[in-house]
Amino acid sequence: MAPLLEPSTGFKFDNVKRNQMLADKGHLLPRATKTGTTIVGLVYKDGVILGADTRATSGPIVADKNCEKIHFLAPNMYCCGAGTAADTEFTTNIISSQLALHSLNTGREARVGAALTMLKQYLFRYQGHIGAYLVLGGYDVTGPHLYAIQAHGSTDKLPYMTLGSGSLAAMSVFESGWRAGLSRDEGVELVKDAIEAGIFNDLGSGSNVDVCVITKGNVEYLRGYSTPNQRVAKEQTYRFAPGTTEFIVPNATAQRSEEEGTAMDVSA
Amino acid sequence: MPQLKPGEISMGTTIMAVQFDGGVVLGADSRTSSGTYVSNRVSDKLTKVHDRIYCCRSGSAADTQAVADVVRYHLALYTAQHGEEPTVKVAASLFQQICYDNKDNLMAGIIVAGWDKVDGASVYEIPLGGSIHKLPFTLAGSGSTFIYGYCDKLFRPAMTKDECIEFVKNSVSLAISRDGSSGGVIRVAAITEDGVERQIVHGNNLPQQFLG
């Protein structure tokens, strides 16, 4: 019998039948970690500012209270990701490595438009099954650029935008506060306010605000720029004084019975 | 029947193109929606595929952007390969080939319009199935249904460029006021032998009409 030829790249669907059988028996599949999320980007006087919250959810549970949603693409480009956490992580990693090779091939700093085309053509090819919703911002030789990329492969070029479940809350802040030619401090404050609107009004977003300021030739990655959800000090302590639990038999050890079964072979 | 996949961005849209002696005028609204949320209220649905050939996109934003990118690539190569500038007919045929061959997987309603040395001004419509229709003027998108009567009554074959621009602005404005999937600003592009002139009409400057 000839060996099965497996594709070396791309998705593997071997477990689909097994998962279906398990689901039929009543075993619920673990839900993919989604980033719920509020991500924003805006263009200001000297460049772009990206912002994101830091909560990753798995259904109703918070899977990560302080995850990083602003991903590195190139020294002059960063990308916020909403949607399925694994998809945003791996999509940005793949395109980041392609950009590095592209930069070496051309001998030039990569342009934001190049990253945009690579991302949109990659996501369009998978027809929306890769759940990556991205806010791409960067500064290249042609100036500052900000793009929104949807999972199905459509893109928008805008001076300010929000994505994710908290996008409506954040957009209300931007629509009332954005104007052309903001200063750096005004821009960062506006981004912080927009993300905090998502953190406090959207259940899928929470924890801290990460900010990334990209200007000509310089990137400031402000991890944890605002931490409005720090855990308060506990009001009481749960330490028990030694001697609280009374021993009936002092220094007793567990009774081991020898006859039950054979010992596990741990020689190898 | 192709349908938008859940979560896919739709360009609800009102788009139109009108031919006059010496050029074409294209018009579009600027709303792209995701369900009931407007994801981009100032989008540009008039996409350049060559120096004097533009297309108006309606349907799925992802599909039409991808198709337009492929056509733009082919037209960019055309001059080097054929030794002459591509005509609007060539552009429209390229769109048609892609839309027809992939009709099961695409949701794209496209209008191709422009000016070339061979045929002068041309307007082509390529609806969902991938058929091609050469017309003196045409409308597409969800908002177009509200203005067919208005456009049929007011269109004249011998309009000037400025009359066409007024016609397009008035028509798109009426469609925006009746169609929930159309809105934002009105983008207009006038293409002649001399080049492309782009205009924008903001929401507060829309033409006079019954507002209730």
Question: Percent of chain A having pLDDT more than 70?
Answer: 88
For B61, nearest residue in chain A (alpha carbons): A154
Total residue length of chain A: 268
Residues of B serving a catalytic function are 13
Q: Determine contact: A152 vs chain B, CB below 8 A.
A: yes
pLDDT category at A12 given cuts 50, 70, 90 is confident
Whether residues A154 and B62 touch (CB distance < 8 A) is answered with yes
Distance from CA of B71 to the nearest CA of A (A): 14
Q: What is the mean pLDDT of residues A156-170?
A: 95
Q: Which of A28-37, B106-115, B126-135, B152-161 has the lowest mean pLDDT?
A: A28-37
Beta bridge partners of B50: B53
B66 vs A153, A167, A168: nearest CB: A153
Residue B203 has pLDDT above 80, yes or no: yes
| Residue A180 scores a pLDDT above 90 | yes
How far is the alpha carbon of A240 from chain B, nearest alpha carbon, in Å?
A: 54
In chain A, the residue whose alpha carbon lies closest to the alpha carbon of B11 is A154
CA distances (Å), origin A184, targets A41, A47, A160, A226: 13, 9, 14, 16
Partners of residue B188 on adjacent β-strands: B27, B199
B61 contacts on A by Cβ (under 8 Å): 150, 152, 154
What integer best gives the mean pLDDT of chain A? 89
Do the Cβ atoms of A120 and B65 come within 8 Å? yes
Mean pLDDT for A170-198 is 96
Q: Which residues pair with A42 in a beta bridge?
A: A49, A160
Does the beta carbon of B8 lie under 8 angstroms from any beta carbon of chain A?
yes
CA dist list (Å): A80 to A37, A138, B48: 10, 11, 29
**A49 neighbors A219 (Cβ within 8 angstroms):** no
Q: Are B9 and A150 in contact (CB < 8 Å)?
A: yes
pLDDT digits (tens, 9 = 90+) for A22-60: 888 887 766 666 658 999 999 999 999 999 999 999 888
For residue B112, the model assigns a pLDDT of 98
Does A151 reach chain B within 8 Å, measured CB to CB?
Answer: yes
Question: ipTM of this model?
Answer: 0.90
Tokens of A263: 């010992």
Res A123: pLDDT: 97
Residue A234 confidence class, pLDDT cut points 50, 70, 90: confident
Closest residue, chain A, to B30 (C-alpha): A156
The pTM (predicted TM-score) of the whole model is 0.84
Cross-chain Cβ contact B7/A128 below 8 Å: yes
Asked whether the beta carbons of residue B61 and residue A150 sit closer than 8 angstroms, the reply is: yes
Subunit contact B60:A154, Cβ cutoff 8 A: yes
Residue pLDDT, tens place only, B34-53: 888 999 999 999 999 999 99
Chain A residue whose CA is closest to B40: A156
Distance from CA of B174 to the nearest CA of A (A): 26
Q: How far is CA B150 from CA B12, B139, B154, B170, B178, in A?
A: 20, 11, 6, 10, 13
DSSP structural state of residue A258: S
